Structure 1
Amino acid sequence: MTTPEGAEVATSAPSRDPWAVLRQATRARVALGRAGDGLPTARELEFRAAHAVARDAVHTALDTGRVRAALAAAGVGLDVLEVHSAAPDRATYLQRPDLGRRPAEGTTLPCGSYDLAVVVADGLSPRAVHEHAAGTVAAVLERLPGWEVAPLVVASQARVALGDPVGEALGARIVVVLVGERPGLSSADSLGLYLTWGPRPGRVDAERNCISNVRPPHGLDYAQAADTLVALLQASRQLGASGVVLKDEGVTLPPGAG
């Protein structure tokens, strides 16, 4: 279409992408588009980059010095102990989950009488521990006045169940394990919190409670995670149990926090 002077004008507004609103509402890989029979080049490159980030998160070594420094900077005043699982290296840890569930031979810890033990474990994403463990621990401890808390334990090549023998050795009634969760293509830095009453070797997953996806700003922030965990800790102490018999009926999370 042209004006009487011959200048060209647009006949209609350019079409808008109907999936744009959905993509803005989630970090999931949705509405990627097509280029022939495959993905557009930009989307393919994004996928490869996300996959590389996830692989790097799994294979990154836990920097215990960095964790100690972050805990100190966050104002966590607990003594910090370090332990290693029975897995001698990262390759063995990934191939032998059972070795990550028990301490290395000869591990000793000071025994006391504590309400709570906190274990920071690298799990499948040491990156999550580097970025989120200190802030989470600080938020939890400031909500537990009067609780006797054991020295904090930083565990390398560790699975969730390593907290059971560690908590028992420390003499804690409850153990909470902060662990780097299995990375996804949009969440390579997700931290999980696992609560177990009466830690001892042989505990099973049904005897634990889990708070997942602690990774602000895209998941739970530290205050939300701490509020939920502390509510569970208080209920666990009253009930004398954890796991399937302990229900999360306390803090209601705001929309979009998951």
Structure 2
Amino acid sequence: MSDKSVPARPLIDLRSFTPARVALGRSGASVPTRPLLDFTLDHARARDAVHAVFETPRLVADLGALGLAVSEVRSRAVDRRDYLRRPDLGRQLDPDSAKALARDAAGPCQLALVIGDGLSAAAVHAHAVALVSRLLPLLAEGDAVALGHVVVASGARVALGDEIGAILGARMVVMLIGERPGLSAPDSLGAYLTFAPKPGRTDAERNCVSNIHKAGLSHDEAAFKIGWLIREGLAREVSGVALKDESADRVPRRIGTALPE
């Protein structure tokens, strides 16, 4: 039975709850001028995000201010056009980068962090450093997780983290990367976690924390979820479909604790 004392909210009020394009109105057979101009602007912002220059010196300096030593690598995509036309090249390290990374590897580590431009360098510039600054204290709590390497990767696709993690001997790799821009969020960052990374891992073997941006998941919320998945993944020695995000309901296991029979 409906409560007639509660007035029906006009459809236009839905716009205060979502950045999605709802209740745009109509002008003849088309939309009004303002929504059309807004669409054109958002489309331009999405295109700009895809082609934005990845400012690696700035990113390395900002990460250094957090006390992190950073290695720089690039994929086999020689430029942005190559990157967009050949996704496979963005999943493979440039040979010189692979050799340099192997020289930097000092032995196996628990965790490697890779920050790649992906399809939105704007997302990395806007959110990566702030997210890392909130993640580091969570990794240091209690049974601390040792962050062995931090790598900034240009021309990166998600799977590039698998090769990087394998070279560094990481038990787990976390890839922070710019997601494909949408018309409501051109600067959305994603985090992909893979246990026992190696070339050939599939998306089913990763966990993803996505939509990290001002109108989506906050830096604090994302850091909490990522930290929980790192600890639980290392404890269970799994990631992907075998590891569900139960961060809202459970405390992660102690790393190294065996699962019950």
TM-score, L = length of structure 2: 0.87
Aligned counterparts of 2:130 and 2:182: Cα–Cα separation in 1: 22
State the shift of 1:62 in Å: 0.4
* Overall identity of the aligned pairs, in %: 52
| Match of residue 10 from structure 1 | none
Matches of residues 150-229 of structure 1 in structure 2 within 5 Å? 150-216=148-214, 218-229=215-226
Q: Answer with 1 or 2: which has the greater Rg.
A: 1
Residue from 50, 58, 62 that aligns with 1:66: 58
Measure the CA separation in 1 of the matches of 2:146 and 2:15: 46
Tell me whether 60-69 or 200-209 shows the greater mean CA deviation. 60-69
Q: For each residue in 1:68-103, what CA deviation from the matched residue of structure 2 results, as whole angstroms up to 9, or x when unmatched?
A: 233245xx2110111000000000100100000010
2:17 aligned partner:
25
SS in 1 for 2:148: coil
Give the C-alpha shift of residue 18 in structure 1.
Answer: 2.2
Any unmatched runs of 5+ in structure 1? 1-16, 253-258
Match of 1:38 in 2: 30
Confirm or deny that 1:103 pairs with 2:105: no
- How far 1:140 sits from its partner (Å)? 1.1
Equivalent position of 2:136 in the other structure: 141
Question: 2:122 matched to 1:130?
Answer: no
TM-score by length of 1: 0.88
Question: Distance between the aligned counterparts of 1:187 and 1:46, measured in 2?
Answer: 13
Moved more, 173-182 or 139-148: 139-148
Does the 8 A contact of 2:175 with 2:193 survive in 1? Answer: yes
CA shift, 1:248, in A, is: 0.7
Instruction: Provide the alpha-carbon RMSD of the alignment.
Output: 1.4
Residue aligning to 1:251: 248
Q: Distance in 1 between matches of 2:32 and 2:232?
A: 51
User: How many pairs does the alignment contain?
Assistant: 234
Structure 2: segments with no counterpart, 5+ residues: 1-8, 250-261
